[in-house]
A and B are shown apart, each in its own frame.
Chain A
């Protein structure tokens, strides 16, 4: 029932998916360290994203708000950033993540399904790295 739990669930879902892991030439059988280096629960590109570490995916949360209908529910904002050497790979990676996350309900969170709020490409400011990003609304019980 927290941002931590949500990010864990999202990272797990992405890390168990063959097609998503294939972007980094990984498989579900690859080491946890390799998967953790590919799917990072961190918003900071500095130190994580360079032209050597791409393709890489950062997942994090942005400010949310208590729900007006029921204050025991929290409307959180999940963000997935996909970085790659070229924009079509970054976009393909993000589309794969979108297919996995949109309409999916994280377990153990008493939540409604994640819904895509906005997706866009963005300038990374890192030479040789292109970025594509999606925001998801995820509403879960906080008590």
Chain B
């Protein structure tokens, strides 16, 4: 009754919409990283490209999380390289060298022949087709210089670069670092352009 003035702010609705805007922003920025990661693979790892999953954006316990992932095992090679070209600044390298995946006869980084017996490959499969005759031998040099070995490789259907080191593409690191500033700027923009005024009544 009487004369009154009302001023109210629907905070619940406002912040619900703001959260939706952040979800959209996180999704489009993850898609951007995905596009960069894909093109950074330079067509050298089709399986990894194929495994690059679209960005997954989830609202879990009030936290908006976006993920871009390449879950093929070759993504390690694409990111860090292999053999003598491997990037040894990888924090996980020590863990790899201490794991069952690492060839114990390997001295230094070059791809080396394994001793006889089954071993667990990075692909998750157990391999046991080798004789162990080349245990401890630098296969990078051998496949590059020895015509007998090259002939053998051809006879068993191995590609020429089967034992050649692969350079690190750093497809994910490059995608992220090249876009770091842009991501932070665009996330800041979400709240900058948000119309809080729409929720005052």
From B28, B168, B186, name the one whose CB has the most chain A CB atoms within 10 angstroms.
B186
Contact A117 B174 (CB under 8 A): no
Contact A117 B192 (CB under 8 A): no
Q: Known: A117-B178, A118-B180. Is A63-B36 also a contact (CB below 8 A)?
A: yes
Q: Known: A63-B32, A118-B177. Is A75-B39 also a contact (CB below 8 A)?
A: no
User: Which residues from chain B contact A135 at a C-beta distance below 8 Å?
Assistant: 178
Rounded to whole angstroms, the CA-CA distance of A80 and B30 in the bound complex is 24
Contact B178 A77 (CB under 8 A): yes
* Interface residues on chain B, size class: 20 to 34
- State the Cβ distance, B138 to closest chain A Cβ, in Å: 18
B135 at the interface (CB under 8 A from A): no
Contact A115 B181 (CB under 8 A): yes
Contact A117 B179 (CB under 8 A): yes
- State the Cβ distance, A83 to closest chain B Cβ, in Å: 14
Q: Interface residues of A, CB < 8 Å — how many?
A: 19
Contact B28 A65 (CB under 8 A): yes
- State the Cβ distance, A66 to closest chain B Cβ, in Å: 8
Q: Which of A9-17, A24-32, A94-102, A120-128 contacts B (4 or more CB under 8 A)?
A: A120-128
User: Which residues from chain A contact B29 at a C-beta distance below 8 Å?
Assistant: 65
Contact A69 B179 (CB under 8 A): no
Interface residues in chain A, defined as those with a beta carbon under 8 Å from any beta carbon in chain B: 62-65, 67-69, 75, 77, 115, 117-118, 120, 122-125, 135, 137
Given A62-B39, A69-B189, A137-B182, 10 other A-B contacts at CB below 8 A?
A: A63-B32, A63-B35, A63-B36, A63-B39, A65-B32, A68-B189, A117-B177, A117-B182, A118-B180, A124-B167
A-B contact pairs, 14 of them (CB 8 A): A62-B178, A63-B35, A65-B32, A65-B186, A69-B189, A69-B192, A69-B193, A115-B181, A117-B178, A117-B179, A118-B174, A118-B177, A118-B180, A123-B167
